[in-house]
C-alpha cells in the first residue's frame, strides 16, 4: 500500500512551531486545565491510576457523547485518539478497494488520502463559491453511480466555514438512500456556529450514517486527543475491532477530562467562550478584507475557526504563503492544500491581539509585493 503525502498536515507540522505568527491553526485558542475545571476536579485527577482504560472509551464518556445524538446510547459510540483516528477507522472499516467514494470538496483532505491509499475510487463534488459554498444538488445527483458506497461530507465545512442548509442535507440523504450508500459526516466544527444555533447532525436523518467528531476544534481542547465515531451498533462494533489494530485505547486522563467537559454546564460555558472569540475575530478579519478589497474577498464563515479568502494577485497560493512565512514569519494555509489555487485559509480562533499582529505583518508584505 502506498500513501500520498498529506500536504496540509505535513506543511503545518514542519513550520507551525518555528514562525512568530501561526495563523494556520484551525481551532480556537486552547484551554488550560485551570481555566477548564474547578480545583476539586483537578485534585481528583491526581489520584487516577495511569493504567489502560476501556479501549472503546469509558462508559461515562460514551454516555456523555451519546447525549449529543438523540436515539443513541453508549453502544453507538467509539472513542478514538482524536477525530483523525475516527476518520481513518471509519473509512478503513467500511470501504473496500474499488468502492466509489463521493467526496465533498473543498475539505480537510485526510479522507481523500486514506481512501486513495486503500484503492477506493474518489469522485469529488464541489461546494460552489457562487452559491455561498453550498453544493449543486443536481450536479451531485449526476455523480452518484451503482458503485457509490459512501457520500462523505464535512459540515460545518473546513475550510470555508459554510453550513449545509436543511433542504440540502435532506437531499443528500435522499440520494444516499436511493443508492444504498453510507453517509460519512465529519462534524468536528459542530458547536462552533457564530450565531449560536447548533448545526443539526446527519445522525438522525438516515440509518446508514456514521459521524466523526471530537474535542479539538469547537471545544478548544486538541491536546486531549479525544475524538469519536457515532453509528449503528454493529458498525461501531466493527470499527472497535479495527481500533484494536491502531492505538488500542485513549488516555485514561483524557477520558475523564472529556467526560467533565461534556457535562451540560461546562459544555455550554466552553462553546459560549469560543463563539465569542470567533465572532470578535471574524469582525476583525472582515474589516481587514474590506480594507484590501478587491485584492481579497470572501464569503464569511458561519462556523469553524477558519476563513477561506480568495485573492486577486498574480502569484500561486503555495508561493504566496511561502513568501509570507519566509519574509514575515506569518504562516497561513495555501489553497493548493485543498486543490484550490488563488485561495488561502486563515485561522480566526487565536487571541485577538495575536491575530491583529499577524494581519499587520501581512499588510507589510502586501505593500512590498505591490511595489515589486
Domains and CATH numbers, the chain: 7-32+267-365 (3.90.1150.10), 51-262 (3.40.640.10)
DSSP 3: -
d(CA 242, CA 34): 35
Cα distance between residue 285 and residue 295, in whole Å: 14
Q: Say how far apart CA 344 and CA 321 lie, in whole Å.
A: 8
Nearest to 173 by CA among 134, 201, 213, 145: 201
Alpha-carbon distance 186 to 229, whole Å? 9
Non-local CB neighbours of 75 within 8 Å, separated by 6+ positions? 233, 236, 237
Residue 71's pLDDT is 96
How high is the pLDDT of residue 312?
97
**Count of CB atoms within 10 A of residue 83's CB?**
26
**At CA 229, angle to CA 225 and CA 231, rounded to 5?**
170
Res 234: pLDDT = 98
* Rounded mean pLDDT for each run of 10 residues along the chain, 372 residues in total: 90 95 97 96 96 97 98 98 98 96 97 96 97 97 96 98 97 97 98 97 96 98 98 98 98 98 97 98 98 97 97 97 98 97 98 98 95 76
Query: So what's the pLDDT on residue 40?
Result: 96
Distance of alpha carbon 58 from alpha carbon 252, whole angstroms: 8
Amino acid at each position: 500500500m502506498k500513501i500520498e503525502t498529506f500536504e496540509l498536515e505535513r506543511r503545518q507540522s514542519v513550520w507551525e512551531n518555528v514562525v512568530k505568527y501561526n495563523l494556520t491553526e484551525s481551532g480556537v485558542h486552547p484551554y488550560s486545565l485551570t481555566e477548564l475545571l474547578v480545583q476539586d476536579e483537578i485534585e481528583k485527577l491526581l489520584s487516577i491510576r495511569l493504567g489502560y482504560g476501556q479501549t472503546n472509551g469509558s462508559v461515562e464518556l460514551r454516555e456523555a457523547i451519546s447525549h449529543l445524538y438523540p436515539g443513541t446510547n453508549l453502544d453507538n459510540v467509539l472513542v478514538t485518539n482524536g477525530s483523525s483516528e475516527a476518520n481513518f477507522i471509519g473509512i478503513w472499516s467500511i470501504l473496500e478497494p474499488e468502492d466509489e467514494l463521493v467526496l465533498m470538496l473543498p475539505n480537510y483532505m485526510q479522507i481523500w488520502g486514506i481512501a486513495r491509499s486503500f484503492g477506493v475510487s474518489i469522485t469529488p463534488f464541489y461546494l460552489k463559491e457562487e452559491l455561498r459554498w453550498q453544493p449543486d444538488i443536481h450536479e451531485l445527483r449526476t455523480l452518484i453511480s451503482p458503485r457509490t458506497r459512501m457520500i462523505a461530507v464535512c459540515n460545518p465545512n473546513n475550510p470555508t466555514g459554510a453550513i449545509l442548509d436543511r433542504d440540502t442535507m435532506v437531499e443528500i440523504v435522499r440520494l444516499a438512500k436511493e443508492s444504498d450508500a453510507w453517509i460519512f459526516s465529519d462534524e468536528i466544527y459542530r458547536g462552533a456556529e457564530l450565531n449560536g444555533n447548533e448545526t443539526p447532525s446527519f445522525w438522525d436523518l438516515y440509518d446508514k450514517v456514521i459521524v466523526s467528531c471530537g474535542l479539538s476544534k469547537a471545544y478548544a481542547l486538541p491536546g486531549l486527543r479525544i475524538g469519536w465515531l457515532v453509528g449503528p451498533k454493529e458498525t461501531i462494533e466493527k470499527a472497535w475491532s479495527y481500533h484494536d489494530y491502531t492505538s488500542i485505547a485513549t488516555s485514561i486522563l483524557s477520558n475523564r477530562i472529556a467526560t467533565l467537559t461534556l457535562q451540560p454546564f461546562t459544555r455550554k460555558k466552553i462553546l459560549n467562550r469560543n463563539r465569542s472569540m470567533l465572532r470578535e475575530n471574524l469582525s476583525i478579519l472582515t474589516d481587514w478584507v474590506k480594507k484590501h478589497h478587491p485584492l481579497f474577498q470572501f464569503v464569511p464563515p458561519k462556523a469553524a475557526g477558519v476563513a477561506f479568502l480568495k485573492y486577486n494577485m498574480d502569484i500561486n497560493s503555495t508561493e504566496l504563503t511561502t513568501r509570507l512565512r519566509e519574509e514575515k514569519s506569518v504562516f497561513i494555509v495555501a489553497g493548493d492544500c485543498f486543490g484550490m489555487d488563488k485561495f488561502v485559509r486563515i485561522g480566526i480562533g487565536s487571541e485577538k491581539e495575536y491575530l491583529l499582529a499577524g494581519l499587520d505583518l501581512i499588510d507589510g508584505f502586501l505593500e512590498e509585493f505591490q511595489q515589486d
